[in-house]
A and B are shown apart, each in its own frame.
Chain A
Amino acid sequence: MQLKFKRKPQLSEVLSFLYGITGLILMGGLFLFSLYLYHLAHPDAFAYLPRVFASRLGKLLLLGFTVAFWYHFAAGIRYLCRDLGMGLSEKASATSGVFVLFFTQTMTFLSICAVWASR
């Protein structure tokens, strides 16, 4: 019989996992951006790309990239601080972890507002 220990996922491991996932998402976004530049240089190629980004699904995709960017940004600065030896204690790590999530939420909302206002 195999023993399985159920435990609550810790905040730090969830944040680390999300850091990798958002990195992958942003990499996909960067590749998509390259394809878009290719479309601009050769208008016949990938002619459907502007329509994709104008559609509702495309906007949802862009919103996803925005969330991923702000999360990766905040968590990346958190890890940079750790490289410098700041915020290593258990309490500081928990506080900064929650702050990263809060920051992502706020900045995504502000980004949506900025796009809305500029239309």
Chain B
Amino acid sequence: MNLFLKNSKALPSAKNALGLWWAQRWTGVFLILLTFFLVSRLFSGLGPNGLSAWVSRPLNSLALIFFLLFGFYYAWLGLQVLIEEHVHNTLFKYVSLLLVKGFCFLGAGIGITSLLILLVKSSAVLV
């Protein structure tokens, strides 16, 4: 277990601490803007064909892709900091860091591939 403790740089957020700190702030700010943008679009432009039609509009799907990317990246960074601060059992800490990373990649992957599939489906209808 001491193998991990010897080098504090082993913690993910110690490698590029300032960069990750800034990334957390910027993605946070962009997430606020994207959320307001998407919710306002949802309120004004939800047509009779429902959510799948709304999602496949180019501007919406582009915003949604950025929303998912930033959202899961922000969640990953935030949870990483939370775990490093509060989880003191080394094994549990590294396992949970790995699980969080996997969860975020899975979530972003599912969402973005689904959005791309919906885009291809809607453009196939147009052609």
Tell yes or no: B118 within 8 A of A by CB.
yes
Tell yes or no: B68 within 8 A of A by CB.
yes
Question: Is A23 within 8 A of B114, CB to CB?
Answer: no
B contacts with A: majority SS: helix
Of the listed stretches B3-11, B12-20, B72-80, B91-99, name the one at the interface; the rest are far from the partner chain.
Answer: B72-80
Instruction: List A residues 66-119 near B (Cβ within 8 Å).
Output: 69, 73, 76, 80, 83, 114, 118
Cα distance, A42 to B120, chains bound together (Å): 13
Cα distance, A42 to B71, chains bound together (Å): 23
Contact of B32 among A40, A42, A73 (CB under 8 A): A73
Looking at chain A, what size class is its interface with the partner chain? 20 to 34
Question: Is B118 within 8 A of A40, CB to CB?
Answer: yes
Instruction: List A residues 3-25 near B (Cβ within 8 Å).
Output: 20, 23-24
Question: Is B110 within 8 A of A37, CB to CB?
Answer: yes
Question: A residues within 8 A CB of B72?
Answer: 30
14 CB-based A-B contacts, threshold 8 Å: A23-B75, A23-B79, A27-B75, A30-B72, A33-B111, A37-B55, A37-B115, A37-B118, A38-B114, A40-B52, A40-B55, A40-B114, A41-B115, A73-B32
B positions within 8 Å CB-CB of A: 25, 28-29, 32, 35, 43, 51-52, 55, 64, 68, 71-72, 75, 78-79, 82, 103, 107-108, 110-111, 113-115, 117-118, 121
A positions within 8 Å CB-CB of B: 20, 23-24, 26-27, 30-31, 33-38, 40-42, 69, 73, 76, 80, 83, 114, 118
